[in-house]
Amino acid sequence: MARVSGRIKAVAYLRTSSASNVGTDKDSDKRQREAIRSFSERSGYDLVEEYYDAAVSGADPIETRPGFAALLDRIETNGVRTVIVEDASRFARDLVTQELGILLLIGRGVTVLTAAGDDLTNTSDPFKVAMRQIAGAFAQLEKSRLVSKLKVARERRRAAGEKCEGRKSHAELTPDVVALAKNLRRKPRKGERMSLRDIAAELARRGHVSANGTPFSPSVVRSMVQP
């Protein structure tokens, strides 16, 4: 193993499973990073690089992940042979994907450690291999259970006429602007209803514009004034 100042060189691998877990205000990657850092410091590893697959499903094949592909390039070019992850589910939640990925790294002489100190690439102890597979199976089961639970909740909200996914409408984000647009549409102007383009111009005159600072398009205004 490559060493620096008596410490073993290692790289960190992080994965977040959805876009909702990605961003400066989210803590999934921060939690993983801190767990890996803490383990490295107390176990004598020197983290020289971090690879991060953001918004990547744990069921996605290892070889299709850009962060993991970059990690493999690093491993194959500079001799680092230790990868540290928070836990097995961060490496891969799907059991088959997890095992195939581990075999891929074993073939390159790589050791994959969790922040709890478990060696995911240790194949000499049948009990540890079985326990790793059982843990992976439970992680996969929990993921499936959560997906099913969320699906039931969405269907319940849809049945109640609630919106439960997708981009929020203007009525939800700016109800005052929508109310004004509807009022302008209802109000006759020289005996005729204002056109969608005229409403957009009037909204802009009153300071209500799109996110890029231009008047709303007629199609956007139409979505506002429709019942």
Q: Which residues of the chain, if any, have pLDDT below 50?
A: 1-4, 25
pLDDT of residue 1: 47
pLDDT of residue 64: 82
Structure tokens at 218: 């007629």
pLDDT of residue 52: 93
Q: What is the pTM of this model?
A: 0.53
pLDDT of residue 33: 95
Q: Which CATH superfamily is domain 3-145 in?
A: Resolvase, N-terminal catalytic domain (3.40.50.1390)
Integer CA distances (angstroms), 105 to 37, 84, 115, 149, in order = 21, 12, 18, 34
SS3 letters for the chain? CCEECCEEEEEEEEECCCHHHCCCCCCHHHHHHHHHHHHHHHHCEEEEEEEEECCCCCCCCHHHCHHHHHHHHHHHHHCCCEEEECCHHHHCCCHHHHHHHHHHHHCCCCEEEECCCCECCCCCCHHHHHHHHHHHHHHHHHHHHHHHHHHHHHHHHHHCCCCCCCCCCHHHHCHHHHHHHHHHHHCEECCEECCHHHHHHHHHHCCCCCCCCCCCCHHHHHHHHCC
* Tokens 């890029």 sit on residue: 212
pLDDT of residue 136: 63
pLDDT of residue 69: 87
Distance CA 112, CA 83 (A): 5
Q: Which residues contact 217 (CB under 8 A, 6 or more apart)?
A: 200, 210
